[in-house]
Structure 1
Amino acid sequence: MAETTNTEQYYKVLDEGAAILQKEKDLFYLEALGSMGELLFTQKFPDEMGAGPKENLENIINTLPPEVQREEIRRAMQLAILKGMKEATQPHHALTPDAVALFIGYLTNIVLSKETDDPVLLLDPAAGAGNLLTAVLNQLSKKGHAVGAEPDETLLKLAYVNANLQEHTVDLFHQDSVATSTVDNVHAVVTDLPAGYYPDDKKAAEFKTGADSGHSYVHHLLIEQSIRHVREGGFLIFLIPNGLFQSEQADKLQVLLKEDADIYSLLQLPESMFKSKESGKSILILRRKKQGVIPPRQALLAELPSFTREAALADMMKRISSWFDDHL
């Protein structure tokens, strides 16, 4: 029989504990998972909890492995969140694929490698459950402090638990990042952009990328808002829909980028990662313009190999790292 990994053991504690809290407090699984994560962090049981469920939870918690790495906790949380999303998926409930989150962490570490500030400050304006943000923090070679914003209360609670259990310093805000500013002068923005329309036309009209009529694309507005938040010369790494620059509102986005930022790289993810060609995504790396910073004559454009082809992916990562060494 194969030995159980720390990730599997930690997931089992989260899952079984969430199931008890789900039944005891009549919650959705994701809500119960947030409560279970908070319980693991604070070690405080709800006052109204009966003796039986409390004892069961204590027994489950006692099976936690003695030493767990941050990535093991993140992956365990990811597994539990994925289970919860299958139970009652909302249109905006989606988790950045693990391999993609790790790859974005790798890219973030590359573009921040020349920064002299320590710690670096990151922003995720659409933090979700905090999976991408903590994956990036786990890969930084220097200390990182992060700020995240998320309008969905359940996902925000999971992001809070994710950061706490992994012992990261993260400030989280319950807010819509288009309507409300978060923090300025960050070293980098990293986010999995939600795609779709933004409902508040009046607020969208305040943006360069706002549509002349009808609803504006929320992903366009978030790109513009993110450029405002990053410091001059700072980087922005977005997970974007492949059709970002082919949509009917793309003209305004292209004008914005020409005025305020430079495209450093566009990396298309393997089609095999997505259910259909139309749902495919890419990683877009921008840099806010800064006097004295000369952008590359040609952006790095590439189609990434399947993440299961380890040798091909390793070769691509080496080429990407070398390109950024030459252009930073």
Structure 2
Amino acid sequence: MSVTEMKSSLVEEIKEWKRKRNAILLAHNYQLPEIQDIADVLGDSLALARAAGNTSADVIVFCGVHFMAETAAILNPEKTVLLPDLEAGCSLADSITVDQLREWKAEHPGAVVVAYVNTTAEVKAESDYCCTSSNAVEIVRSIPEDKEILFLPDMFLGSFVKNETGRENMHIWLGECHVHAGIASHQVEGVLTQHPEAELLVHPECGCSTSSMYLVSEGVLPAEKTHILSTGNMLKHSKNSDAEEFIVATEVGIIHQMQKQNPEKRFVPANPEAVCPFMKMITLEKVLAALKENKHIITVPADTAERAKLAIKRMVSIG
């Protein structure tokens, strides 16, 4: 049997088991192409959280990383939430612990805590709001201006939000996603030199996002061709834009969907090595095993889930 035939057989078996278990497959835009292609819902963190909260399925198979499956479990305590590989973690979520957050809050009594969705359930439970890259600016703008804000854990997204909102009373945790932090401004400028007519799409988690904002203000990067966007908004923009070529500064997995939606356009990674090993851990074989053997059930303690749910619900209601 060829590799193509084997994949086709796995996909058919996955579909059969989905029907048997009334299951839904949620997949992030950074997943392997074959996982993206079988997803019932493919999207960024906000879209997937909304899908998890609205599904009538009995079983949610989360093709993403651990914090995403936790979020689904918090929103659906009565459903079975499966993560096909328990090792699928997140370096950004690991950059702050709940004890560190409690200490930070003690230093700033009365501050409003805004936690990026890339955090553990315990951290979410200590937060007032969750946010994603697509609605972080709107969430911060919704908070009264006299309120001090603690934004965590991504320093690049935090810097972007602070710049967009002009909030001087916003403190930023110095965490980062190791993949996005590795996309540097000199790489972006180098690719732009080779593709001068391309539009530049930058994820706000990227190490180049702050410098990109500065270079736009200095006229080095063309403002009309530079867009700092979430993965979901990158997909929308590339579909709606008249441009024929795009430089993509985020994890390279998204390019599969961009190319699929726009076969006549060209997408160039700012850094071809921007690959998240955690996002690539989930395979067709592991999805099938999850459905057949309940691998691996993700649960969150009831007290933690109850406190985290308010911050998550605020996130999904804005933007």
TM-score normalised to structure 1 length: 0.30
What is the TM-score with the length of structure 2 in the denominator?
0.31
| Greater relative CO (CA pairs within 8 A, separation 6+) | 2
Bigger Rg, structure 1 or 2: 1
